[in-house]
Amino acid sequence: MENEILYTIDIWSPEIILLLVLSGVLIGIINTLAGSGTAISYAIFMLLGLSPAYSNGSIRLGVVTQTLAAGINFHKKKMLNLKYAVYIAIPITLGSIVGAEIAVNINQELFKKVIGFAMIIMIYFLLHKPEKWIKERDEVNKNSIKWWHYLVYFLIGLYGGFIHIGVGIFLLAALVLMSGYDLVHANGLKVFIVFVYTPFALAIFMINGQIDYAVGLLSAVGNTIGGIWASNYAVKYGAKPLRWVLLVVLFLFTMYLFGFFDKLF
């Protein structure tokens, strides 16, 4: 079966458990401060032997726990406009359900290529330092929600439900450049919105039996720790150093997905 779990190594060895938890911490920090850290989860899960479908479903477990913990912290710091977040979360959630339905039914080899191209897009954004142009509007200036805003957020949800990689970057860009939020408040909104829509996408993967709970929950422990830490220090620290770590991972994993390592070795 193309979706069958086939571990290449013993996931219950202390080394692998430590790898999943520690990488989960890094992923939680990157996702909370910026976005697209989930690429590391895809890389590790698939290298452990999970299929693209199982990897795509299993990473959502950590996303839920991480965004819940970080969202609570942002709310305590009064960096979260819940009323506005709900308005945005509705079209994103609807889009995520559609996107997840597409993901669970797509051909796995084709899906590998889709992930690969998503990685290339993320590399582009990382090289062009999206935090620079996002931070240029450093004031809260919330515009009224227009009809086409809902369409944009629906499409972001569609992408997030289909493949979670980089959805945080796209959501931050929309919240700042389209809806008029500064980066700090947009980050709090982003975390809460991702928390709202992810369980719906996760349910689709659960129903279709495309979740590895052992790997996903071990990573989720680290995701949660990373999300709490990053949300506590989001105002003080930027994400530039972490972007370079992510850039290397994205580049190497993209080469893996397109078969460059097979040709080299």
Written as one letter, the residue type at 203 is A
CA nearest neighbour of 169 among 29, 30, 53, 59: 30
pLDDT at position 33 is: 79
Radius of gyration of the chain (CA): 17
Q: Number of C-alpha atoms within 13 angstroms, CB side, residue 185?
A: 19
One pLDDT digit (tens) per residue for the chain, 265 residues = 444 555 566 788 999 999 999 999 999 988 887 777 888 898 899 888 888 889 999 999 999 999 999 999 888 888 787 888 888 999 999 999 999 999 988 887 787 778 778 778 777 776 776 555 555 454 445 556 778 899 999 999 999 999 888 788 888 888 877 887 877 788 889 999 999 999 999 999 999 999 999 999 999 999 999 999 988 876 565 555 556 666 776 777 677 667 775 665 4
pLDDT at position 79 is: 78
pTM: 0.82
pLDDT at position 264 is: 58
pLDDT at position 139 is: 47
Report the alpha-carbon distance of residue 203 to residue 97 in Å, rounded: 9
Report the alpha-carbon distance of residue 123 to residue 129 in Å, rounded: 10
pLDDT at position 7 is: 59
Structural domain boundaries in the chain: 14-258
Q: How many helices (H) and strands (E) does the chain have?
A: 12, 0
Cα 145 to chain centroid, rounded: 25
